[in-house]
Amino acid sequence: MNSPIVTRRGAQQAKIQTRAMVKSKSTSSATAAAAAAAANAAAGPNANGSNGAGSCGPRKPSPALQEAKRRARNMLKSQNNGTAAQLEPVIDIFQNAVNAKSMHRGPTALIYDESMSEHCCLWDSTHQERPERFTRTLERCRELKLVERCLQLKSRLATKDEILKLHSMEHYERLEQTSGVHDEEAMEELSSHYDAIYIHPSTFKLSLLASGSTIELVEQLLLGKAQNGMAIIRPPGHHAMKAEFNGYCYFNNVALAAQHALESHQLQRILIIDYDVHHGQGTQRFFYNDSRVLYFSIHRYEHGSFWPNLQESDYHAIGAGSGTGYNFNVPLNAKGLGNGDYLAIFQQLLLPVAMEYQPELIIVSAGYDAALGCPEGEMEVTPACYPHLLNPLLHLANCRIAVVLEGGYCVESLSEGAALTLRALLGDPCPPLVEPLQVPSPVLREALLNCIYVHRPYWRCLQLQQTYSPGELQQISSTIPLHRVQRIWLGGTTPAPSPDQRYPTRGTSAQLSVDVVASNASRLRLLRAETQLSVPAVRVCYAYDAQMLQHFNLHDATHPEQPMRIRQIHQMHQDYQLLGRMQQLEARAATTDEVCLAHTRAHVNSVRRLLGRSVEELQQVGAGYNSVYLHPRTFECAILASGAVLQAVDSVLRGQSRSGICNVRPPGHHAEPDQPHGFCIFNNVAIAAQYAIREYGLERILIVDWDVHHGNGTQHIFESNPKVLYISVHRYEHGAFFPKGPAGNFDVVGKNAGRGFNVNIPWNKKGMGDLEYALAFQQLILPIAYEFSPQLVLVSAGFDAAIGDPLGGCKVTPEGYGLFTHWLSALAGGRIIVCLEGGYNVNSISYAMTMCTKTLLGDPVPTPQFGSTTAQRSPTVAFQSCLETLQMCVEQQRHHWKSLVFGCKLPQFVLGENNNEDFLAATMDQLSISNDDPLGAAGGDIDAQPDRGQDRPSGSKPKVKVKTLSEFMAEHKEALEQQEMFAIYPLKSCPHLSLLRPEEVPKSIKTNGACGDCASTVENWLCLSCQSIGCGRYINEHMEQHCRRAKHPLVLSFSDLSVWCYECSAYIDHPLLYAYQNLAHLDKFQEAMAWTHGCMQRADGCYPIEAEHLDNDSDRNRSRDKDKDKDSGSSSMGSGYYIHLERNN
């Protein structure tokens, strides 16, 4: 058997030279000579062999070399045929990893100016945009000794030309004229012309200083003088528009810096992330038509009722012209959202889009008014969460990230959040989150799915959710929830601009109750006290011992699992000058008791007895296992490998180092409790996990296994243990790929107490690369890991899914592994240990492990090329298969992990900014007013709220001729496209109608009644079972909570008198409901409600519940009235089906 492993750099260089020569149209003789030279080099003797273990002998050319030769032959053939060969450019698959050798961590820049504390409101001392926001933030950064660790940049004023790149001359001069003016009355009068603005004598200068400092920070990053940086500045800028001051903002600092990067450095892709709780409409407007800037905003919206009260802040605003698809708004329609919600936004939407976009620069508009305690945002993001939001972005855009301070009006949470953000930029581990992570709220789920829906046509990474057709809306049997896209506007009517319009200038700051302020302050103090910020000075410990080279195959020197694997990794670490930067651990052998934490004593003793056996006996014993070879020194090497990992565990958990790299062999993750398996003797990672539980009392350990083969041994050892969460992403091929069988499938989730703590992500096609693995991390691994909140992360780091591996058939790059390591390092306070498993191309595994090490050392690593080329091609078979696998995994695991709430089906059709027209039209094409078998309602969600100023009785049956809904749609096309009108098809019956008794109908109904829980009078509903009143889903959801709790499913809307069933999730139209609707109609309109049902109205109010009985009654009525209809010339509706319309202006 000849080895397919590439072991010499000479062979690799020859291969590259061969490909370069053929692609430069060399002559056929020169091409043949180069190919022959490459083949000879590849077949040469192994220069690295020693002790007989590393000597591979003659070998056939590698698959990569054979592919190069095949391309050369094809090119010659095409040249002979007179055709031009269109081949891909020569790319060294390891070039990025080679480039990383010279990449070392650069400084973090910090820019600020003490004079920025001068800006204040002279006529309102309680104004929340006050100097303490700036001074307290700097104080906290100094308390944590962060400022002294930064490269401090000198602040500067923006030039007039720089400001005029985006703002008008009139805008600039208007603010310039206020410079040094101390006429307080005149300044207040001028300020009153703008929304949420005050002007101080220093405002003009400090606004120039804020903008100039932001531009200077970006300039230094682009010049390579710093790796990343932060601008602690004020006044803020993201609300400032071309010719209007707005929301405490005068010049748009971030937009100006982005424009500078576009013009002065010719950047083509800039990502602006704005997580200020207010929508940065100024920034959005500047780049709405520009694909060179992707604007991503997360903000409180509440259907337009939250400032700045703009419809353009909703999810449907996706950009225009060339910028279509490059504007993202995530509108949060409730207050009180916290860490789990914001992390979900980053994991499910922002991070996938950012990777596909491949930004050259990232600018963060960092407002901290979504932080706990801020009276403006009333959100509950804890300060320690902000580093977790920033962390996954730190290795994108070549690490060029500028964080620019915007809002934040609780100085305690602002100062702490900003300081921890700077700490993350400096490379310190993300602190563990003190409070348990709350699951994403239904409000967030709805907003995020709406965003994904409207952007799906533009982004390949947003294809995970399946889609549904109009017909599925009426199918109750769907196992996957159907998401209904909707838009609700509660912002009222925007008055036309008027030169005489005035805005309040005093008492404008948001206020919380004394009790709420005290509660928030107490919670913030507790969070600060319990947040662990101290970290070891040593970043990485390193475990390696040359004695582990002594285990090798005595019968096949070319066996893939050979000593040169770890020797080459060690050599590359030395070549990259990494060994001197890590703490070298002294190797030790694991004791029998330690190994028996994961294995039976009989298994340990059987391996121990190998010492002294003959070669023939070893071969015979090894043949009794699956893919195992044995050596007289196997036991010593195996316990040394396990002991080395335990040394790393001790170093990390004792606080001597932050993380660990274990360059060990033999590997371990296939080893079963009672026998070796798949090159593995003892399960190193499993022993380490059990050791950490026993010796350090850990309760939650995460094992991530990215070896291309399923870690069957690790799974079996922990399948009933809830203290260990095992996540494996591996090639499966429907059970045909090693180790074969069903154990690695997605539906194997653990047993007994460990049920749900086993997560398999099985690839059923080869060719998975960085993109597919990254999606697995974002959609499954990271959400589940954050919900689990591990105290230690162990990585079974097999690199046989790496590009070039002869066994794996996948395409993960070394820099991809570095990025995944970085993402995992945000967990457990950075306590992560990466342990070598498989990987059989020594170049691949050496580069890959080196990138993991550099990442843990804080060095930048080249960003994997997720989107720049792949997005331009058709989706690969591997990518399509990846989506199928992830969909199955999410559906399976959502029953165990509450964070996986986004696996819903989305509507199929998207077109234009309204994003519902096609779906609405497709549905209506299948409906007619005389058709009683619709395929489903469409357009907005059936809960969409009508304009309360134009209430009308929903039960009034319109007097229309029989027509198709396509004809009806044509008549009302504009209203439907603007979502002012929605088609509703209520159910004709409902089993829960049996809960209603005609004799229990109340004597009257007051439609102006307030919610019994929150006293709200907006969007209220009446429980038909107990007559209690509660607010709807877009207020505080008290009616739904009541109905779920009391099991009262039927409710009546005070807005349009419709009846909704929570159990059926549908509107109901039935004669039994008329008594309730009529009482509400009398109260609302002072007249009786028209009878619209096909059956005769009964005095006792008793009607059959079943729809078919009602239909029979209707048929009798129609027969009795047939002659009357003929005489009067009227036409019957036939089936009794009618259109129920809601207006939502």
Cα-atom radius of gyration of the chain, to the nearest Å? 34
Coil, helix or strand at residue 1115: helix
Q: What was the pLDDT predicted at 982?
A: 54
Strand order in the sheet with 1066-1068: 1029-1031, 1020-1023, 1050-1053, 1059-1061, 1066-1068
- Whole-angstrom Cα distance, residue 406 to residue 417? 12
* pLDDT for the residue numbered 1101: 81
Spatial separation of the C-alpha atoms in residues 1138 and 1058, rounded to whole Å: 14
CB 310 within 8 A of CB 294: no
Q: Which structure tokens are listed for 1121?
A: 């009235």
Choice among 119, 316, 670, 730 that is catalytic: 670
Tokens (6 digits) for 745: 């499938």
- What are the DSSP E strand ranges found in 783-870? 792-797, 832-836
pLDDT at 86: 40
* Residue 779 DSSP code: I
The reply to whether 182 belongs to the active site is no
Q: Which helix (H) or strand (E) holds 1029?
A: strand 1029-1031
pLDDT at 442: 95
What is residue 781's DSSP assignment? I
- Taking the C-alpha atoms of residue 159 and residue 29, their distance in angstroms, rounded to an integer, is 63
Under a CB-based contact definition with an 8 Å cutoff, are residues 323 and 287 in contact?
yes
Going through 663-723 in order, the beta strands assigned E by DSSP cover: 701-705
What's the pLDDT at 51?
40
Residue whose C-alpha is closest to residue 202's, from 182, 185, 186: 182
> Using CA atoms, how far apart are residues 664 and 682, in angstroms rounded to an integer?
12
- 443-476 burial: b if 16+ Cβ within 10 Å, else e: bbbbbbbbbbbbbbebbbbbbbbbbbbbebbeee
User: In angstroms, rounded to a whole number, what is the distance separating the alpha carbons of residues 748 and 758?
Assistant: 7
Q: Which of 782, 804, 778, 963 is nearest to 882 (CA)?
A: 778
Tell me how far CA of residue 813 lies from CA of 101, 662, 850, 871, in angstroms: 15, 20, 12, 18
Q: What is the DSSP string of 523-590?
A: HHHHHHHH------S--EEEE--GGGGG---SS-TT-SS-THHHHHHHHHHHHTT-GGGSEEEPP-PP
* Contact status, residue 417 vs residue 368, Cβ threshold 8 Å: yes
Lookup: tokens for 998: 């005609």
- Tokens (6 digits) for 800: 């046989």
Please provide residue 367's backbone torsions phi and psi, each rounded to the nearest 5 degrees.
-95, 140
Question: What residue ranges of the chain have pLDDT lower than 70?
Answer: 1-91, 474-478, 494, 867-873, 909-985, 1034, 1107-1145
d(CA 388, CA 345) in angstroms, rounded, equals 12
Instruction: For residue 770, give the amino acid letter.
Output: D
Distance CA(1067)–CA(984), nearest Å, equals 8
Look-up of token digits 């549905």:
923
Q: What is the pLDDT of residues 691-723, one digit of tens each?
A: 999 999 999 999 999 999 999 999 999 999 999
User: In angstroms, rounded to a whole number, what is the distance separating the alpha carbons of residues 778 and 801?
Assistant: 18
What distance lies between CA 25 and its chain's CA centroid?
45
CA distance 75 to 138: 63
- By the 10 Å C-beta count (0-12 exposed, 13-18 middle, 19+ buried), 717 is classed as buried
Active site residue: 171, 239, 299, 677, which one? 239
| Amino acid code (one letter) for 659 | S
- 603 in active site: no
Q: Please, how many CA atoms are within 13 Å of residue 716, restricted to the half-sphere of its CB?
A: 18
Backbone angles phi, psi at 411, to 5 degrees: -65, -30
* Count of beta carbons in the 10 Å neighbourhood of residue 953: 19
For residue 525 the two structure tokens come to: 């103090």
